[in-house]
Chain A
């Protein structure tokens, strides 16, 4: 009898506690939802702490705090990309207004001056926002890691993106002089001087970034860039053939086996062959079939493809 009473009491108390906790959770959730969304100008206040001021005061945990800023920078850009409604152009991320990215990366690298991944990420993403900030970040990296040739590779890359081939060549040459620098650096120093704006140079740069970058996001972006360059090279050749065929016959040819054999005869570099899938469709370097615009009689990258598309 007594045991039963105790059991009932415990059950009632447990149910009451569970009900109160559930109510509190519900109210909390309501409050969160009712909270007005503040504009970016208010929510994105400048970072309260500056890495260089925290340095030496973090009881030796500077590396851990740098990691936190690094994760924040990734989340920040990820959030901006997800919430942006328009077409995303990897070459110009300014419409996303990611003005805190530089501060996050500055803090991460102030706290841990050897944080290579943070510098590399900044070198690849910041030029699409503010290339001066990217150059300043990499120059800081060079100052803190004077014996690491990779920082010069990134500096050369940023100058190349700006079309400053002479500065790019100088950066690659300085990196090439450091111990352990691969032959690629010397080759790029020469290529920048003679053919900085050429497609093959761009391909070599992105291929090297893909093979050597420390973070997965940079590698993926570089891979897509290589595919984009290859796709553009294929499209140029294919669309030239289509235009000729249209000129000769007076109408746009219907894609099919006959036309495919025509495309197969196009001579592109061995590392970029034109491929036709099992269904007989011409596919881009990522394996997605090209979109055929019958009105303009042109092939283009399909919206379903992962390859970055030119903004129309």
Chain B
């Protein structure tokens, strides 16, 4: 279906798929990770006072924000790679595409649904971090922690898009592995450019420079260590990161849609 044909109808279809994906995630007990997170953050708030010699607030921010990224990334990867594969495996994809649903609408709806799940997950965990900070009288770190968590959510938007891209042409296991590797490389991407400059060979230098720009630069979303010290990211960094996440995720989704549109389910 051409998106220009009836934009309102497309929006309705995407919303319906997104809603179903969100419901499915809840039904799959994805949000159970919140229990683990709640236990972790409660234990930190209670026990860290002794262990950290009065530095529990900064440790709660470090522990909380890193746990939010870890849980969020795992959900994005392991749920993301299964979104399309599960529909194919269960053969529900046939009944979906028997209706007037375009493949681009299907992929976009799945993506938005998972992003919604991640949003709920991230918001609940952020509330947990804030409550723990209130408990240990670390209120001055609440705003920096929230801004670091906002940046983490932007990062998760990219990770989810990459997981869906790989799942559009690969098996779930390989897709999860590839996404995890991209997540790691994405955090080290600045090293690629440094390596290219250090090697001195023109071809390798250009190749690494190309990879640096093509692979996601996830380090732009890292503000966790700074937040634990009470630093706030400049507004330009937050808006820049939001723009980067949206543009990059859109680009990846377009590629995923292009691949998925040509996929034969027989």
Contact = CB atoms under 8 A, between A and B. Distances in A.
Contacts of A56: 188, 190-191
A115 interface: yes
A57 interface: yes
A112 interface: yes
Given A63-B224, A121-B53, 4 more contacts: A62-B225, A111-B225, A114-B226, A117-B54
A62 B184 CA distance: 14
Interface residues of A, number: 25
B66 interface: yes
Interface of A is mostly: helix
Contact of B52 (A71, A111, A114): A71
Given A63-B228, A115-B229, A57 B55 contact: no
Interface string A113-136: 011110001000000000000000
A33 to B, nearest CB: 26
B219 interface: yes
A66 B225 contact: yes
Contact of B222 (A60, A74, A215): A60
B229 A74 contact: no
The 5 closest A-B pairs by CB, nearest first: A63-B225, A60-B222, A216-B54, A59-B187, A64-B62
Nearest to B190: A56
A63 B218 CA distance: 17
B147 interface: no
Interface of A: 56-57, 59-64, 66-67, 70-71, 74-75, 111-112, 114-117, 121, 214-217
Contacts of B190: 56
Contacts of A112: 225, 228-229
Interface residues of B, number: 27
B69 interface: yes
A210 to B, nearest CB: 13
Contacts of A60: 66, 69, 187, 218-219, 221-222, 224-225
B132 to A, nearest CB: 14
A64 to B, nearest CB: 4
B90 to A, nearest CB: 34
Given A56-B191, A57-B188, A70 B225 contact: no
A217 B51 CA distance: 11
A63 B60 CA distance: 11
A67 B184 CA distance: 22
Interface of B: 51-55, 58-59, 61-63, 66, 69, 184, 187-188, 190-191, 218-219, 221-222, 224-226, 228-229, 231
A67 B62 CA distance: 8
A214 B54 contact: yes
B125 to A, nearest CB: 15
A262 to B, nearest CB: 43
A74 B51 contact: yes
A61 B55 contact: no
A117 B55 contact: yes
A70 B52 contact: yes
29 contacts: A56-B190, A57-B191, A59-B187, A59-B222, A60-B187, A60-B218, A60-B221, A61-B225, A62-B225, A63-B61, A63-B224, A63-B226, A64-B62, A64-B63, A64-B225, A66-B225, A67-B52, A67-B55, A67-B62, A70-B55, A74-B53, A112-B229, A114-B229, A116-B229, A117-B58, A214-B54, A214-B55, A216-B53, A217-B53
A202 B51 CA distance: 30
B53 A117 contact: yes
A215 B53 contact: yes
B189 to A, nearest CB: 11
Residue from B61, B69, B218, B225 whose CB has the most chain A CB atoms within 10 Å? B225
Nearest to A218: B53
Contacts of A67: 52, 55, 58-59, 62-63, 228
A67 B224 CA distance: 12
Contact of A59 (B58, B63, B184): B184
Nearest to A56: B191
B137 to A, nearest CB: 13
Contact of B55 (A59, A62, A64, A215): A215
